[in-house]
Amino acid sequence: MAAELPVTCTRCVLPATFPGITFDAAGVCGYCQDAATAGSVAVARQQLRARMEAVIAASRGQGAYDCIVAFSGGKDSSYTLQSLVRTYQLRCLAVTIDNGFLSEQARTNCTTVTSALGVDFLMFRPAPTFMARMYRTSVTAGGVQSPAAIKRASAICNSCISMINTLMVTFAIQHEAPLIAGGYIGGQVPKDMAVLDLNLIQQERMRAPQQERYTQLFGPAAGHFFFIRQSLLQQHPNGHVTVINPMLTVALREEEILTTIQALGWQPSQDTGRHSSNCRLNDVGIAFHYRQHGFHPYVLELAEQVRAGLMDRAEALDRVQHIPDLATLTPQLAQIGLRPDGTAAPD
Amino acid sequence: MSDCTPQIARFMQSQFLVTFDGQRVTPTTNLFESGHLDSFGFVELITFLEREFAVTFSDEDLLSNRLNSLAGVAAVVQEKLRHGR
Ligand SMILES: [Zn+2]
pLDDT score of B1: 47
Amino acid letter, residue B73: V
Residue B11 has pLDDT above 50, yes or no: yes
Of A147, A201, A203, the CB nearest to B39: A203
Q: Report yes or no on A14 lying in a domain.
A: no
Cβ neighbours for A123, distance < 8 A, ≥ 6 positions apart: A95, A96, A98, A110
CB B31 within 8 A of CB B80: no
Residue A216: list chain B partners with CB under 8 A: none
**B25-43: pLDDT as tens digits:** 999 999 999 999 988 889 8
The domain that contains B9 carries what CATH number?
1.10.1200.10
The domain that contains A273 carries what CATH number?
3.40.50.620
CB A285 within 8 A of CB A167: no
Q: Report yes or no on A111 lying in a domain.
A: yes
**A252-296: pLDDT as tens digits:** 888 999 999 999 999 999 999 988 989 999 999 999 999 999 999
Q: What is the pTM of this model?
A: 0.92
CA–CA distances in Å: residue B32 to residues A20, A247, A294, B42, B65: 21, 29, 27, 9, 11
State whether B33 and A149 contact (CB < 8 Å): no
Rounded Cα distance, A236 and A179, in Å: 13
Rounded Cα distance, A75 and A106, in Å: 9
State whether A146 and B36 contact (CB < 8 Å): yes
Among A234, A220, A10, smallest CA distance to A134 is for: A220
Q: Give the pLDDT band (50/70/90) at residue B79.
A: very high
Q: Report yes or no on A89 lying in a domain.
A: yes
Q: Report yes or no on A304 lying in a domain.
A: no
pLDDT score of A188: 66
The domain of A216 spans 39-295
In Å, how far is B35's CA from the nearest CA of chain A?
5
Dihedral (C-alpha) A82, A86, A91, A97: value to the nearest 10 degrees?
A: 0
The domain of B33 spans 5-82
**Which of B15, B17, B20, B40 to mutate: most A Cβ within 10 Å?**
B40
CB A74 within 8 A of CB A182: no
Q: Report yes or no on A257 lying in a domain.
A: yes
Q: Report yes or no on A13 lying in a domain.
A: no
pLDDT score of B85: 60
How many domains would you assign to chain A? 1
Q: Which residues of chain A have pLDDT under 50?
A: 1-2
Q: Give the pLDDT band (50/70/90) at residue B55.
A: very high
Q: How many residues can be counted in chain B?
A: 85
How many domains would you assign to chain B? 1
